[in-house]
Amino acid sequence: MNAPSPNISTDRPVIRQLDEAAINRIAAGEVVERPASAVKELVENALDAGATRITIDYADGGKTLIRVTDDGYGMAPDDLQLAVARHATSKIDGSDLLNIRSFGFRGEALASLGAVGRLTITSRTAGQDAGQITVAGGRMGDVRPAALSRGTVVELRDLFYATPARLKFLRSDRAEAQAITDVIRRLAMAEPQVGFALNDHSGGEQRTLFRADPQPGDFFDALHGRLTHVLGADFTANALKIDVQRDGLHLTGYAALPTYSRGSSVAQFVFVNGRPVLDRMLLGALRVAYFDFLSRDRHPAAVLNLICDPERVDVNVHPAKSEVRFREPEAARSLIITGLKSALSGAGHRASSTVAAETINAIRPEAPRIYQMDRPSQATFARAFAFQAPDPALGFHEAPTARVEPAEPQPDHPLGAARAQVHENYIIAQTATGIVIVDQHAAHERLVYERLKRQMADTGIKAQALLIPEIVELSPTDATRLLDAAPVLAEIGLTIEPFGGNAIAIRETPAVLGQVNASALIRDVLDELADAGSTTLIRARIDAVLSRMACHGSVRSGRQMRAEEMNALLREMEATPHSGQCNHGRPTYVELKLHDIERLFGRR
C-alpha cells in the first residue's frame, strides 16, 4: 500500500490571501533568479528612461553590491513610493498588453528587489529636487531629500539577505560576475548609441571590466563600431550586413561568412525589437540558413535584430522576458532563412580574412628577438652576401621553376592568374596584391555541387512511387503534426496521406535518395518537427547525396591541370556564390597579401 504524500494534508485546506511581503518574494523568485537578472532589470529600466550613458558597479559577483547609474529622465520625489510598489509602472496604462514598446512593463522589478535585498533609489527629474527612498526586506522607508545632478541611481545591497536559502543556489563570485558581463555585452549590442561602463569593486578596488562609448553615425555604422568593440575586429571584417524587409518584418544586423565559424553557439545573438532573447525558433532558423555551408560540429556567428509591430509578438511568455511568441512564426523564420541565404549568396567567392592570418601563423618560424645592438653592420652584410654568391666558373645555373605562363595576358581578377600547380592538388595564382593558393579538388567539388543544386531547383525534386505504400501507425499528436507538414514534405519528394485512424500512408519518396527506409525516415522527420517545429532533415539528406555526387564528379587530387584549365576554374569560382568554402565549410582558397609574405620573410 502506498504511503500518503507528505505534501497533502488530510484536513480541509483553507484558502488565504497572501500578504504583500510574501507576494513580492514569490515575484522575486520569478524575476530575479541571480545577480545578473537584477542587473538586467535595472539596466533595462535605465534604457526605458532614455539614458545615453549607464554605469554598472558591483562587488562579489553582485551578491553584496549592485549599483546602476544613468542620465535618463529621472523621477520626481512624489513618484518614488509608487515606483517601488508592485505593478506600478509608467510604461503602459494596462489597456493594451499586446502593444509593448519598452523593455519593462510589469512593474515588478523594483518591488521584487526591495523584498529580497536592501534597495536605495536616488533620482532627480528636470525642474525638481532630488529624492531618495529605501526599501529593505519589503519594508519601505520615507522619501527624503538627496543630492543628485540628474538621472537615477539604484543601489542594491545584500541581495537575497531576506531569503537566505536563495543564496545557497548562487554560483561562485566569478561565475556570477561572468553572467553580469554577458548581460551587459548583449544590451550593449542592442543599443549601440548608448554608452556602458561595468566596474568591479570586489576587494575594495575598482576594476573596469567593460567600457563601450556611444557610437556615432546611423544605426548600421553605430552597430558596426559597437560589434567591433564587443566581438572583435575579426568578426566585423568577415561579417555581412543584413537589411531585409518583408510582410511588415524587418531583419537587421551582421552575419559572418561560413568560413568564420565557431565550435559552439557562443557567437550567436538574437534580438526582437531590440530585446535580447534566447528563442529556439529564431536560433533554429539561423542554423538552417547555414546548414548547407557548415559541418555539424561548426556554428555560425551572427548578431540579428528582428523588428516588427509589437502587436505581432508576445513578450510576456516568460518572467525573464527571454522568450517570445510570434503571431506568424513561419513568416519570422522564413525571413531569417531567406535573408541570410541571400546575403551569403551576395558574398560570392569571398572567404574569411582570418584564413590568411591562420596560414601566416602556421608557417611563420619562431625566431628569437634581435636587438639593435646585436644586428650586424651593413659592411658585414655586404661581405656575407658576396661570400654566398655563386661562382660562374663552377657551372652553377638557375634551377627550373614550376611557373606556368598564361597563354595571353589577362586582366585583373579577384583570384588572379594561375602560375603553378604544386603536389598536383594546389593551384598557385598571382593577384595584383599577392598570391592565392587554391585546393583544386575542394573548389571544384563546391562548383559541381552548386551546379547540381541549380539543376534540381530548375527541374524540381523528382519523387519515386513505392510499389506498395508503407503504412505507419502513429500517435494522434504525431499524425496531426505530420499531416500538417504534408504540403511542405511533398515539395521535396515525400508524399504522405491519411490512412484511417492515426495511420499514414507513405506513397512517394525522393528519387535521389534511392532505396530508403521510409518508416525510419518519417520518424526522424517527426522528431525534428517536435523539436524545432519544422524539418530540414530530408532537404539535408538530398543535399548530402548531391554533395557525394559532386565529390565523385569533381577534379581529383593528383590530377595535373593545364594553365587554361586552372584559369577556367578560377573564373568559375569568382562567378559562383559560396565557392569560398567547400561543402563542409572549410576554405577552398587562401589569399596572402604581398605585405604578409614580406613580413613572413622579415622584409617588413
pLDDT digits (tens, 9 = 90+) for 417-455: 999 999 889 999 999 889 999 999 989 988 988 888 887
Helix (H, G, I), strand (E, B) or coil at 327: coil
Residue % of the chain over a pLDDT of 90: 38
Whether 312 and 327 have beta carbons less than 8 Å apart is answered as: yes
pLDDT band, residue 554 (cuts 50/70/90): confident
Mean pLDDT of 464-480: 90
**Predicted local distance difference test score (pLDDT) of residue 367:** 45
Query: Which residue ranges does the chain devote to CATH 3.30.230.10?
Result: 219-346
Whether 177 and 39 have beta carbons less than 8 Å apart is answered as: no
pTM, entire model: 0.74
Radius of gyration, CA atoms only, the chain: 32
Query: Which residue ranges does the chain devote to CATH 3.30.1370.100?
Result: 348-362+403-604
**For residues 518 and 495, what is the distance between their CA atoms, to the nearest angstrom?**
11
What's the CATH code, domain 219-346? 3.30.230.10
**Predicted local distance difference test score (pLDDT) of residue 189:** 96
Angstrom CA distances, 112 to 28, 60, 84, 318, stand at 5, 21, 8, 16
What's the CATH code, domain 348-362+403-604? 3.30.1370.100
Domain with residues 20-212, CATH architecture:
2-Layer Sandwich (3.30)
Q: Say which residue, 212 or 298, is predicted with more confidence.
A: 212
Helix (H, G, I), strand (E, B) or coil at 286: helix
Query: Which residue ranges does the chain devote to CATH 3.30.565.10?
Result: 20-212
pLDDT band, residue 369 (cuts 50/70/90): very low
Examine the pLDDT at 392 and tell me if it is beyond 60.
no
pLDDT digits (tens, 9 = 90+) for 19-56: 666 666 565 555 688 999 999 999 998 998 999 999 99
In this structure, of 120-124, 189-193, 218-222, 407-411, the range with the lowest mean pLDDT score is: 407-411
pLDDT band, residue 356 (cuts 50/70/90): low
Mean pLDDT of 299-315: 88
In this structure, of 213-217, 293-297, 330-334, 497-501, the range with the lowest mean pLDDT score is: 293-297
**Predicted local distance difference test score (pLDDT) of residue 368:** 47
Q: In what order do the strands lie in the sheet with 417-422?
A: 417-422, 426-430, 434-439, 589-593
Helix (H, G, I), strand (E, B) or coil at 429: strand
Question: End-to-end distance of the chain based on CA atoms, in angstroms?
Answer: 86
**Predicted local distance difference test score (pLDDT) of residue 129:** 93
Examine the pLDDT at 1 and tell me if it is beyond 60.
no
Mean pLDDT of 261-274: 90
CA nearest neighbour of 574 among 412, 458, 428, 452: 412
Average pLDDT, the chain: 82
**For residues 275 and 282, what is the distance between their CA atoms, to the nearest angstrom?**
13
Angstrom CA distances, 163 to 31, 37, 65, stand at 14, 16, 16
